[in-house]
Amino acid sequence: MNTMKKQYTLILVTLLFFPFACKTSQQQAKKEENIFQKINQEVLANSKAYSTLGEASKTIGHRLTGSENGKKAEQYAYDLLKSYGFEVRFHEFDVEAWARETVSLQVSSGKNDEFAPLSTATLAHSPVKSSVTAEIIDLGNGLAEDFKEKGDAVKGKIALVYIGVWEESNAKYNLHRSEKTALAIQYGAVGVIAINQPAGRILLTGTASVTGKLNPIPAVSITKEDGLVLRERLKTEKVKAQINMTNKSEVIRARNVIGTIKGTTLPNEKIIIGGHLDSWDLSTGAIDNGIGSFAILDIARTFKALNLKTKRTLEFVMFMGEEQGLLGSRAMVDEYKEKGTIEQVKYMVNLDATGNPVGINSAGAPQTEAFFKAIGQKISAVDSTYKNTFASRAGLHSDHQPFMLEGVPTLGFMGRLDAVIYRCYHADCDAFSLVNEKHIRNSVRFISMIMYDLANADALPVKRMDSETTKKFLIENDLKTPLKIAGDWKWAD
């Protein structure tokens, strides 16, 4: 009898509560829909991402870490967040800043041992001073198997490698230019010549160091056109190269810039949305990473303009030193670990050359698809240009990496940028003229909506992984080999 009474009471309570629960759920959905509409209207009417990036590109120029321009960029971001009403702080860290000075590359012409100049750009973290003359050896894609095949023949030579992978090689993976340089050093090469990927006589820069510290050998880039000619010559003759360069390297203090919105009910749970403010010095870096970092600044403005509240704390972070080896994000993760607060970071959302997003890349976490697709459906209802696509690829070489190595879930975005943009990656053509105002505004609109729902979710779709789970995750996503080459594999095997 008592059991029957309990069951009857439970049914009665359920029937009485059910309409209320449905109403509450509907009200919550209505509220979120209304907020998404407000975000949409605010950004369409008042976005400053395009204009502030244009102003910074014009008045500051490049944003190389350690340079006067870099300091100006740090202060610009700080002042901008302050003007939006943020509590802002600098996160200072010491960095060995590198800057190019002079460089020349000459290749033997085959006539009387004469040398002819080739257009070139120094790859960062090459030595402060270097003068090398040696025979060139073609290492193809510059992958581990290419170096292993040549073995001792690499010793004392200048390694010629491709930034991408040659189509005819059918390679199933690629390595970062720094990892290819690390292999060249390991096999005894005395220099590296890297062939750029896009056509159009474009020169590439970027770090050739896996550690962010100086390499013992010089590394330079050449255009794809010159690289193809050189490879053909090497099939039938021995070719020598002379590399001469001077560079600067000194320890300076750099500053990440952090604006914070404190969480209402879960203030010790943090969602970080970050992107690197720094750029290389061949151009203004408007795409890499102006469109990411200045979108974040405007997402921050949008939250303040609408006085949006979040359960979890939001940190808007402008990282410095990314281009020189993820230095700012590494420093931030180290600080979290030293203070024992890394557990507070529940998600790291990274915007690196992110623009015009149409979907989410939930790094290595396919189980989060339903969660993010549900958010995407609400965004698509506001604007159908958001296609709500989903991927779960995990990769390296951006500011999410130090967080990912500590098991923190990371998030990126899939975008539809104009194809011409990718030709100018780390090149002298990465200018503000490439920035599409509509596309950067789309980044602000859609990512603001995603951040709002992520920071207010009742439960997040994944949790921080422990060390062994992180190790397994990295192996499953084919990241062990590049991490070992870079010296970032912290496990015993």
Q: At what angle do helices 369-382 and 437-456 cross, to 10 degrees?
A: 130
Looking at residue 170, its amino acid is N
pTM of the model: 0.90
The string of pLDDT tens digits covering residues 101-135 is 999 999 998 766 789 999 999 999 999 999 999 99
The CATH superfamily assigned to 45-96+251-485 is Zn peptidases (3.40.630.10)
pLDDT band at 243 (very low <50, low <70, confident <90, very high): very high
pLDDT band at 13 (very low <50, low <70, confident <90, very high): very low
Q: Which CATH number is 100-247 given?
A: 3.50.30.30
- Residues spanned by CATH 3.40.630.10 within the chain? 45-96+251-485
The string of pLDDT tens digits covering residues 156-199 is 999 999 999 999 999 999 999 999 999 999 999 999 999 999 99
Q: Which of 5-19, 141-155, 311-325, 374-388 has the lowest mean pLDDT?
A: 5-19
Write out the DSSP string of 151-179.
Answer: GGGGTTSEEEEESS--GGGT-S----HHH
pLDDT of residue 83: 98
pLDDT band at 10 (very low <50, low <70, confident <90, very high): very low
Q: Which of 47-61, 148-162, 284-298, 479-493 has the lowest mean pLDDT?
A: 479-493
Quick check: 296 pLDDT over 50?
A: yes
- Residues spanned by CATH 3.50.30.30 within the chain? 100-247
Cβ(307)–Cβ(316) under 8 Å?
Answer: no
Nearest residue to 331 (alpha-carbon basis) of 457, 476, 169, 212: 212
DSSP classification of residue 200: S
Reported in sequence order, the residue ranges of 231-344 that DSSP labels E, i.e. its strands, are: 240-261, 266-276, 312-319
Ramachandran quadrant class, 140 (left: phi over 0; alpha: psi -120 to 50; beta: rest): left
- How far is 309 from 73, CA to CA, in rounded Å? 28
